[in-house]
Structure 1
Amino acid sequence: MRFRMGRDCGPEGFPGALFAMDFGGGRGWSKGWSWGGDWGDGGGRGRRGRGRMFTGDQLRLLLLRLIADEPRHGYDLIRAIEELSHGAYAPSPGVVYPTLTMLQDMDLIEETKSKSARKVFTATEEGEAHLKEHAEEVDGLLERLKEAGSDNRKAGGAPIKRSVASLLSALWHRVTREDADEDVMHKIAAILDEAAQKIERLT
Protein backbone atom coordinates (compact mmCIF):
# COMPACT_ATOMS: atom_id res chain seq x y z
CA MET A 1 0.00 0.00 0.00
CA ARG A 2 1.39 3.42 -0.93
CA PHE A 3 0.05 6.91 -0.48
CA ARG A 4 -0.50 9.19 -3.44
CA MET A 5 0.43 12.85 -3.50
CA GLY A 6 -2.60 14.96 -2.71
CA ARG A 7 -3.22 18.25 -4.45
CA ASP A 8 -3.31 20.52 -1.42
CA CYS A 9 -1.23 18.56 1.02
CA GLY A 10 1.69 16.15 1.09
CA PRO A 11 1.06 12.43 0.73
CA GLU A 12 -2.71 12.04 0.50
CA GLY A 13 -4.39 11.93 3.88
CA PHE A 14 -1.84 14.11 5.69
CA PRO A 15 -2.70 17.68 6.69
CA GLY A 16 -1.30 20.37 4.47
CA ALA A 17 -0.51 22.36 7.63
CA LEU A 18 2.52 20.18 8.31
CA PHE A 19 3.95 20.97 4.92
CA ALA A 20 3.05 24.66 5.18
CA MET A 21 5.24 24.70 8.31
CA ASP A 22 8.28 24.05 6.08
CA PHE A 23 8.44 20.30 6.58
CA GLY A 24 7.64 19.34 3.01
CA GLY A 25 8.01 20.30 -0.59
CA GLY A 26 11.63 19.33 -0.88
CA ARG A 27 13.39 17.04 -3.29
CA GLY A 28 13.11 13.30 -3.60
CA TRP A 29 9.34 12.79 -3.60
CA SER A 30 9.62 9.81 -5.90
CA LYS A 31 11.70 8.03 -3.24
CA GLY A 32 9.85 9.20 -0.15
CA TRP A 33 8.97 12.28 1.80
CA SER A 34 11.38 15.13 1.99
CA TRP A 35 11.56 18.30 4.03
CA GLY A 36 13.79 21.30 4.21
CA GLY A 37 14.46 21.63 0.49
CA ASP A 38 17.55 23.49 -0.70
CA TRP A 39 18.89 25.14 2.40
CA GLY A 40 22.17 26.84 2.94
CA ASP A 41 24.75 29.35 1.87
CA GLY A 42 26.76 26.95 -0.22
CA GLY A 43 28.01 25.27 2.94
CA GLY A 44 25.50 25.68 5.70
CA ARG A 45 21.85 25.58 6.60
CA GLY A 46 19.92 28.68 5.71
CA ARG A 47 16.53 29.94 4.73
CA ARG A 48 14.77 27.53 2.52
CA GLY A 49 14.74 28.04 -1.17
CA ARG A 50 16.24 30.64 -3.41
CA GLY A 51 19.97 31.12 -3.23
CA ARG A 52 22.29 32.03 -0.41
CA MET A 53 21.38 33.68 2.85
CA PHE A 54 24.62 35.70 2.86
CA THR A 55 27.23 36.49 0.25
CA GLY A 56 30.89 35.95 1.09
CA ASP A 57 31.36 39.65 1.88
CA GLN A 58 28.29 39.69 4.11
CA LEU A 59 29.40 36.63 6.04
CA ARG A 60 32.80 38.21 6.60
CA LEU A 61 31.14 41.28 8.05
CA LEU A 62 28.89 39.18 10.27
CA LEU A 63 31.77 37.10 11.63
CA LEU A 64 33.84 40.23 12.18
CA ARG A 65 31.01 41.83 14.15
CA LEU A 66 30.63 38.77 16.38
CA ILE A 67 34.36 38.62 16.97
CA ALA A 68 34.43 42.33 17.81
CA ASP A 69 31.69 41.71 20.39
CA GLU A 70 33.87 39.14 22.14
CA PRO A 71 36.83 36.87 21.31
CA ARG A 72 35.60 33.72 19.59
CA HIS A 73 36.81 30.61 17.83
CA GLY A 74 35.20 29.02 14.78
CA TYR A 75 32.73 26.77 16.59
CA ASP A 76 31.67 29.69 18.81
CA LEU A 77 30.79 31.67 15.70
CA ILE A 78 28.74 28.87 14.16
CA ARG A 79 26.86 28.38 17.42
CA ALA A 80 26.32 32.13 17.92
CA ILE A 81 24.80 32.54 14.43
CA GLU A 82 22.57 29.51 14.93
CA GLU A 83 21.37 30.90 18.26
CA LEU A 84 20.72 34.35 16.80
CA SER A 85 18.57 32.79 14.08
CA HIS A 86 16.90 30.34 16.50
CA GLY A 87 18.17 27.43 14.47
CA ALA A 88 17.07 28.80 11.09
CA TYR A 89 20.63 29.22 9.79
CA ALA A 90 24.12 28.03 10.59
CA PRO A 91 27.15 28.35 8.30
CA SER A 92 29.24 25.21 7.92
CA PRO A 93 32.84 24.88 9.15
CA GLY A 94 33.85 24.61 5.49
CA VAL A 95 32.63 28.19 5.01
CA VAL A 96 33.54 29.71 8.38
CA TYR A 97 37.20 28.68 8.70
CA PRO A 98 38.32 29.88 5.25
CA THR A 99 36.49 33.13 5.96
CA LEU A 100 38.42 33.52 9.22
CA THR A 101 41.67 32.97 7.33
CA MET A 102 40.64 35.68 4.86
CA LEU A 103 39.82 38.08 7.70
CA GLN A 104 43.29 37.42 9.12
CA ASP A 105 44.92 38.04 5.75
CA MET A 106 43.02 41.34 5.59
CA ASP A 107 44.40 42.25 9.07
CA LEU A 108 40.84 42.63 10.39
CA ILE A 109 41.21 39.93 13.07
CA GLU A 110 44.13 38.36 14.87
CA GLU A 111 44.70 35.22 16.88
CA THR A 112 44.92 35.73 20.61
CA LYS A 113 46.24 33.60 23.46
CA SER A 114 43.75 31.20 24.94
CA LYS A 115 43.67 28.26 27.34
CA SER A 116 41.67 26.42 24.72
CA ALA A 117 43.35 24.33 22.03
CA ARG A 118 41.19 26.13 19.48
CA LYS A 119 42.26 29.32 17.74
CA VAL A 120 40.53 32.30 19.34
CA PHE A 121 40.28 35.55 17.40
CA THR A 122 39.85 39.19 18.35
CA ALA A 123 39.17 42.18 16.12
CA THR A 124 42.11 44.45 15.28
CA GLU A 125 41.95 48.24 15.17
CA GLU A 126 41.55 47.93 11.40
CA GLY A 127 38.70 45.50 11.99
CA GLU A 128 36.93 47.87 14.35
CA ALA A 129 37.31 50.69 11.86
CA HIS A 130 36.00 48.47 9.06
CA LEU A 131 32.89 47.70 11.12
CA LYS A 132 32.25 51.41 11.72
CA GLU A 133 32.45 52.06 7.98
CA HIS A 134 29.88 49.33 7.34
CA ALA A 135 27.75 49.77 10.46
CA GLU A 136 24.47 50.14 8.59
CA GLU A 137 25.09 47.02 6.52
CA VAL A 138 26.05 45.03 9.62
CA ASP A 139 22.83 46.08 11.35
CA GLY A 140 20.90 44.88 8.31
CA LEU A 141 22.61 41.47 8.44
CA LEU A 142 21.75 41.05 12.10
CA GLU A 143 18.16 42.04 11.35
CA ARG A 144 18.03 39.39 8.62
CA LEU A 145 19.10 36.75 11.14
CA LYS A 146 16.44 37.99 13.54
CA GLU A 147 13.77 37.73 10.84
CA ALA A 148 14.89 34.21 9.95
CA GLY A 149 14.63 33.30 13.62
CA SER A 150 11.13 34.76 13.80
CA ASP A 151 10.04 32.67 10.82
CA ASN A 152 11.58 29.59 12.39
CA ARG A 153 9.74 30.15 15.69
CA LYS A 154 6.44 30.47 13.81
CA ALA A 155 7.14 27.06 12.27
CA GLY A 156 7.69 25.59 15.72
CA GLY A 157 11.44 26.02 15.93
CA ALA A 158 14.21 23.49 15.38
CA PRO A 159 13.06 20.94 18.02
CA ILE A 160 9.56 20.72 16.50
CA LYS A 161 10.95 20.45 12.98
CA ARG A 162 13.27 17.61 13.99
CA SER A 163 10.44 15.77 15.72
CA VAL A 164 8.02 16.13 12.81
CA ALA A 165 10.75 15.09 10.37
CA SER A 166 11.33 11.94 12.44
CA LEU A 167 7.59 11.28 12.54
CA LEU A 168 7.20 11.63 8.79
CA SER A 169 10.20 9.38 8.20
CA ALA A 170 8.82 6.69 10.52
CA LEU A 171 5.41 6.92 8.86
CA TRP A 172 6.83 6.66 5.39
CA HIS A 173 8.94 3.59 6.16
CA ARG A 174 6.10 1.84 7.99
CA VAL A 175 3.19 2.48 5.65
CA THR A 176 5.18 1.51 2.56
CA ARG A 177 6.14 -1.91 3.87
CA GLU A 178 4.48 -4.88 2.21
CA ASP A 179 2.85 -5.94 5.49
CA ALA A 180 1.19 -2.52 6.00
CA ASP A 181 -2.40 -3.77 5.97
CA GLU A 182 -5.59 -2.02 7.10
CA ASP A 183 -5.09 -3.14 10.70
CA VAL A 184 -1.67 -1.47 10.82
CA MET A 185 -3.12 1.70 9.31
CA HIS A 186 -5.82 1.86 11.99
CA LYS A 187 -3.21 1.39 14.74
CA ILE A 188 -1.08 4.18 13.29
CA ALA A 189 -4.13 6.44 13.02
CA ALA A 190 -5.00 5.74 16.67
CA ILE A 191 -1.48 6.69 17.77
CA LEU A 192 -1.62 9.92 15.79
CA ASP A 193 -5.08 10.77 17.11
CA GLU A 194 -3.93 10.22 20.69
CA ALA A 195 -0.86 12.42 20.15
CA ALA A 196 -3.02 15.17 18.63
CA GLN A 197 -5.40 15.09 21.59
CA LYS A 198 -2.51 15.33 24.07
CA ILE A 199 -1.07 18.32 22.21
CA GLU A 200 -4.45 20.05 22.15
CA ARG A 201 -4.80 19.58 25.92
CA LEU A 202 -1.42 21.17 26.68
CA THR A 203 -1.65 24.36 28.75
Structure 2
Amino acid sequence: MKQDPAFSCHQDSAPRGGCGGRRKRREKMLDASDIRLLMLHFLAQNDAHGYELIKSIEELSKGEYSPSPGIIYPNLTLLEELDAISVVDAQASRKAYTLNAAGRAQLAEQQPQVEQLIERLSSLAVLVNNRSIPDVDQAIHRMRTTLNSRLAQQDISPETLAKVVEALNAAADKIAAS
Protein backbone atom coordinates (compact mmCIF):
# COMPACT_ATOMS: atom_id res chain seq x y z
CA MET A 1 0.00 0.00 0.00
CA LYS A 2 1.42 3.38 -1.01
CA GLN A 3 1.68 5.78 1.91
CA ASP A 4 0.10 9.20 1.54
CA PRO A 5 3.00 11.70 1.46
CA ALA A 6 0.93 14.22 3.40
CA PHE A 7 0.92 11.87 6.37
CA SER A 8 4.34 10.25 6.12
CA CYS A 9 7.08 10.84 8.63
CA HIS A 10 10.27 12.37 7.31
CA GLN A 11 13.16 9.97 7.63
CA ASP A 12 15.02 12.10 10.17
CA SER A 13 12.01 13.13 12.25
CA ALA A 14 12.15 10.23 14.71
CA PRO A 15 14.97 11.65 16.87
CA ARG A 16 13.06 14.93 17.22
CA GLY A 17 9.71 13.55 18.25
CA GLY A 18 8.69 11.50 15.24
CA CYS A 19 5.25 11.56 13.72
CA GLY A 20 3.61 11.30 17.10
CA GLY A 21 5.51 14.33 18.41
CA ARG A 22 4.04 17.77 18.90
CA ARG A 23 6.05 19.45 16.13
CA LYS A 24 4.20 21.04 13.27
CA ARG A 25 4.33 19.48 9.83
CA ARG A 26 6.29 22.39 8.39
CA GLU A 27 9.26 21.60 10.61
CA LYS A 28 9.71 18.08 9.30
CA MET A 29 8.11 18.14 5.88
CA LEU A 30 11.27 19.01 3.94
CA ASP A 31 14.94 19.05 4.77
CA ALA A 32 17.47 21.63 3.58
CA SER A 33 18.46 19.66 0.46
CA ASP A 34 14.77 19.42 -0.52
CA ILE A 35 14.41 23.17 -0.08
CA ARG A 36 17.49 23.82 -2.22
CA LEU A 37 16.08 21.65 -5.03
CA LEU A 38 12.78 23.51 -4.93
CA MET A 39 14.60 26.83 -4.96
CA LEU A 40 16.57 25.75 -8.05
CA HIS A 41 13.33 24.58 -9.65
CA PHE A 42 11.63 27.94 -9.17
CA LEU A 43 14.73 29.89 -10.18
CA ALA A 44 14.82 27.87 -13.42
CA GLN A 45 11.43 29.40 -14.20
CA ASN A 46 12.17 33.01 -13.20
CA ASP A 47 14.69 35.08 -11.31
CA ALA A 48 13.39 35.65 -7.78
CA HIS A 49 13.99 37.17 -4.36
CA GLY A 50 14.04 34.97 -1.25
CA TYR A 51 10.54 36.08 -0.28
CA GLU A 52 9.23 35.15 -3.75
CA LEU A 53 10.75 31.68 -3.36
CA ILE A 54 9.01 31.27 0.00
CA LYS A 55 5.70 32.28 -1.58
CA SER A 56 6.19 29.96 -4.59
CA ILE A 57 6.79 26.96 -2.33
CA GLU A 58 3.88 27.95 -0.08
CA GLU A 59 1.56 28.35 -3.08
CA LEU A 60 2.43 24.86 -4.34
CA SER A 61 0.96 23.38 -1.13
CA LYS A 62 -1.95 25.86 -0.84
CA GLY A 63 -0.43 27.26 2.34
CA GLU A 64 0.02 23.95 4.14
CA TYR A 65 3.81 24.29 4.02
CA SER A 66 5.76 27.51 4.10
CA PRO A 67 9.54 27.46 4.51
CA SER A 68 10.86 29.96 7.01
CA PRO A 69 13.26 32.74 6.06
CA GLY A 70 15.71 30.98 8.39
CA ILE A 71 15.95 28.10 5.94
CA ILE A 72 15.60 30.03 2.67
CA TYR A 73 18.23 32.74 3.09
CA PRO A 74 21.11 30.55 4.37
CA ASN A 75 20.42 28.15 1.51
CA LEU A 76 20.47 31.01 -1.00
CA THR A 77 23.90 31.92 0.37
CA LEU A 78 25.06 28.30 0.13
CA LEU A 79 23.78 27.93 -3.45
CA GLU A 80 25.56 31.17 -4.33
CA GLU A 81 28.81 29.90 -2.76
CA LEU A 82 28.44 26.67 -4.79
CA ASP A 83 28.01 28.80 -7.94
CA ALA A 84 24.59 27.27 -8.57
CA ILE A 85 22.97 30.72 -8.48
CA SER A 86 24.09 34.31 -8.64
CA VAL A 87 22.72 37.71 -7.69
CA VAL A 88 21.08 39.51 -10.61
CA ASP A 89 21.92 43.05 -9.44
CA ALA A 90 24.31 43.40 -6.51
CA GLN A 91 23.36 47.10 -6.16
CA ALA A 92 19.63 46.45 -5.72
CA SER A 93 18.09 46.89 -2.26
CA ARG A 94 16.64 43.35 -2.44
CA LYS A 95 18.72 40.58 -3.94
CA ALA A 96 17.14 38.71 -6.81
CA TYR A 97 18.81 35.47 -7.84
CA THR A 98 19.23 33.73 -11.17
CA LEU A 99 20.16 30.15 -11.95
CA ASN A 100 23.70 29.46 -13.22
CA ALA A 101 24.93 26.56 -15.35
CA ALA A 102 25.96 24.56 -12.25
CA GLY A 103 22.47 25.02 -10.81
CA ARG A 104 20.86 23.92 -14.08
CA ALA A 105 23.07 20.83 -14.14
CA GLN A 106 22.22 19.97 -10.52
CA LEU A 107 18.53 20.47 -11.23
CA ALA A 108 18.66 18.25 -14.33
CA GLU A 109 20.58 15.56 -12.44
CA GLN A 110 18.05 15.52 -9.61
CA GLN A 111 14.86 15.99 -11.65
CA PRO A 112 13.19 12.81 -10.30
CA GLN A 113 13.62 14.09 -6.72
CA VAL A 114 12.24 17.50 -7.75
CA GLU A 115 9.18 15.82 -9.26
CA GLN A 116 8.65 13.83 -6.05
CA LEU A 117 8.89 17.01 -3.97
CA ILE A 118 6.40 18.80 -6.19
CA GLU A 119 4.05 15.81 -5.94
CA ARG A 120 4.35 15.79 -2.11
CA LEU A 121 3.54 19.47 -1.84
CA SER A 122 0.77 19.27 -4.43
CA SER A 123 -0.84 16.44 -2.48
CA LEU A 124 -1.04 18.82 0.48
CA ALA A 125 -3.00 21.21 -1.74
CA VAL A 126 -5.45 18.42 -2.60
CA LEU A 127 -5.71 17.62 1.10
CA VAL A 128 -6.57 21.25 1.87
CA ASN A 129 -9.25 21.29 -0.82
CA ASN A 130 -10.84 18.06 0.39
CA ARG A 131 -10.70 19.07 4.05
CA SER A 132 -12.53 22.29 3.22
CA ILE A 133 -15.62 20.41 2.00
CA PRO A 134 -18.19 21.34 4.69
CA ASP A 135 -19.31 17.77 5.48
CA VAL A 136 -15.71 16.57 5.75
CA ASP A 137 -14.73 19.54 7.90
CA GLN A 138 -17.70 18.98 10.24
CA ALA A 139 -16.95 15.24 10.55
CA ILE A 140 -13.28 15.91 11.36
CA HIS A 141 -14.29 18.53 13.92
CA ARG A 142 -16.81 16.17 15.54
CA MET A 143 -14.25 13.33 15.72
CA ARG A 144 -11.58 15.61 17.20
CA THR A 145 -13.98 17.14 19.75
CA THR A 146 -15.38 13.78 20.81
CA LEU A 147 -11.94 12.21 21.10
CA ASN A 148 -10.48 15.12 23.06
CA SER A 149 -13.48 15.17 25.39
CA ARG A 150 -13.18 11.46 26.11
CA LEU A 151 -9.39 11.50 26.55
CA ALA A 152 -9.55 14.53 28.84
CA GLN A 153 -11.27 12.47 31.54
CA GLN A 154 -9.02 12.06 34.57
CA ASP A 155 -9.72 8.44 35.49
CA ILE A 156 -10.21 6.82 32.10
CA SER A 157 -9.95 3.05 32.46
CA PRO A 158 -7.60 0.87 30.42
CA GLU A 159 -10.67 -0.88 29.00
CA THR A 160 -12.12 2.42 27.80
CA LEU A 161 -8.77 3.42 26.27
CA ALA A 162 -8.65 0.08 24.47
CA LYS A 163 -12.17 0.69 23.09
CA VAL A 164 -11.17 4.18 21.90
CA VAL A 165 -8.08 2.80 20.16
CA GLU A 166 -10.13 0.00 18.61
CA ALA A 167 -12.74 2.49 17.33
CA LEU A 168 -10.08 4.77 15.88
CA ASN A 169 -8.32 1.87 14.15
CA ALA A 170 -11.64 0.59 12.80
CA ALA A 171 -12.52 4.04 11.46
CA ALA A 172 -9.07 4.36 9.85
CA ASP A 173 -9.40 0.92 8.25
CA LYS A 174 -12.87 1.75 6.95
CA ILE A 175 -11.67 5.07 5.49
CA ALA A 176 -8.63 3.43 3.89
CA ALA A 177 -10.83 0.75 2.31
CA SER A 178 -13.31 3.22 0.83
TM over 0.5: yes
Structure 2 runs not aligned, ≥5 long: 1-21, 138-178
Could you say which residue in structure 2 is the equivalent of 1:145? 121
Q: Which among 87, 99, 109 is matched to residue 85 of structure 2?
A: 109
Q: Which structure is higher in helix share?
A: 2
- The letter for the 2-side match of 1:155 is R
Return the offset for 1:65.
Answer: 0.8
Q: Following the alignment from structure 1 to structure 2, what is the Cα–Cα distance between the partners of residues 115 and 142? A: 33
Q: Which among 35, 39, 46 is matched to residue 24 of structure 2?
A: 39
- SS of the equivalent of 1:121 reads strand
Q: Following the alignment from structure 2 to structure 1, what is the Cα–Cα distance between the partners of residues 59 and 90? A: 23
Return the offset for 1:82.
Answer: 1.1
- SS of the equivalent of 2:79 reads helix
1:53 and 2:29 aligned: yes
Return the offset for 1:154.
Answer: 1.6
Is the Cα–Cα contact under 8 Å of residues 40 and 91 in structure 1 kept in the other structure? no
Report how many residues are paired.
113
Return the offset for 1:95.
Answer: 1.0
Could you say which residue in structure 1 is the equivalent of 2:100? 124
Is the Cα–Cα contact under 8 Å of residues 71 and 120 in structure 1 kept in the other structure? yes
Report Cα offsets for 1:138-158 as digits up to 9, x if no partner.
Answer: 11111111001111122229x
Matches of residues 1-203 of structure 1 in structure 2 within 5 Å?
38-42=23-27, 52-113=28-89, 117-156=93-132
TM-score, with length taken from structure 1: 0.52
Return the offset for 1:38.
Answer: 2.7
Q: Percent identity?
A: 36
Q: Following the alignment from structure 2 to structure 1, what is the Cα–Cα distance between the partners of residues 67 and 56? A: 10
Relative to structure 1, the CA distance from residue 132 to residue 116 in structure 2 (aligned partners, 3 Å threshold; closer, same or farther) is: same
- The letter for the 1-side match of 2:61 is S
Larger Rg: 1
Q: Following the alignment from structure 1 to structure 2, what is the Cα–Cα distance between the partners of residues 114 and 104? A: 12
TM-score, with length taken from structure 2: 0.59
- The two structures, once aligned, show a CA RMSD in angstroms of 2.1
- The letter for the 2-side match of 1:38 is R
Q: Following the alignment from structure 2 to structure 1, what is the Cα–Cα distance between the partners of residues 120 and 55? A: 17
Report Cα offsets for 1:112-161 as digits up to 9, x if no partner.
Answer: 0289621000000111011111111111111111001111122229xxx9
- SS of the equivalent of 2:48 reads coil
Could you say which residue in structure 2 is the equivalent of 1:49? none
Could you say which residue in structure 2 is the equivalent of 1:24? none
Structure 1 runs not aligned, ≥5 long: 1-36, 43-51, 162-203
